[in-house]
């Protein structure tokens, strides 16, 4: 979802977010995963006891951290919302695919479950 000049990415977890949590989203050009994939955008968000701690963005042109993390990272019960500049979508182009991991302590989840395969269920086509 876009809001003003931000793309808001939402994650819904299986339970209320009350512990440490790190979510990483990776986006690459094209609608299918290939052996030659190079991530065009990596977003890493970390919360500690449901409080935003850090937001790191990495693109081919460089990387950076949000200075006011609470302006871009929101925790609401079992949901984590990450706001990034929508202009970053230029780095992945009009057709791209994504995968995400969520780690909390020893627990780790991945979406889509078959991320890394040649499936196209994580494809995004803009336009």
Residue 115 maps to which CATH number?
A: 2.60.40
Q: What is the pLDDT of residue 115?
A: 53
Q: What is the pLDDT of residue 25?
A: 92
Domain limits for position 113:
2-125
pLDDT reported for residue 91: 84
Q: CA–CA distance from 105 to each of 43, 48, 73, 83, 108 (Å)?
A: 19, 11, 20, 24, 8
What is the C-alpha separation between 45 and 117, in angstroms, rounded? 24
Q: What pLDDT is recorded for position 97?
A: 84
Residue burial 24-53, b: 16+ Cβ < 10 Å; e: rest: ebbbbbbeebeeeeebbbebbbbbeeeebe
**What integer pLDDT is reported at residue 92 of this predicted model?**
84
pLDDT at 88: 83
Encode the chain (127 residues) as per-residue pLDDT tens digits. Answer: 666 788 889 998 888 898 899 999 998 888 777 777 778 899 999 999 999 999 999 988 889 998 899 999 999 999 999 998 888 888 888 888 888 899 998 888 888 766 555 555 566 666 5
- Number of structural domains (the chain) is 1
Q: What are phi and psi of 92, to 5 degrees?
A: -100, -15
Report the distance separating Cα 118 and Cα 16, nearest Å. Answer: 32
**Which pTM does this prediction carry?**
0.84
The DSSP bridge partners found for residue 9 are 82
């Amino acid at each position: 979802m876009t809001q003003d000049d931000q793309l808001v990415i939402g994650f819904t977890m299986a339970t209320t977010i009350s512990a440490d949590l790190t979510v990483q989203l990776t986006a690459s050009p094209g609608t299918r995963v290939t052996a030659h994939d190079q991530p065009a955008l990596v977003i890493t968000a970390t919360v500690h006891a449901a409080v935003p701690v850090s937001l790191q963005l990495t693109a081919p042109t460089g990387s950076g951290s949000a200075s006011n993390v609470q302006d871009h990272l929101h925790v609401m019960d079992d949901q984590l919302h990450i706001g990034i500049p929508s202009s970053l979508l230029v780095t992945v182009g009009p057709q791209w695919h994504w995968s995400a991991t969520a780690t909390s302590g020893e627990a780790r989840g991945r979406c889509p479950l078959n991320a890394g395969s040649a499936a196209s269920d994580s494809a995004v086509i803009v336009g």
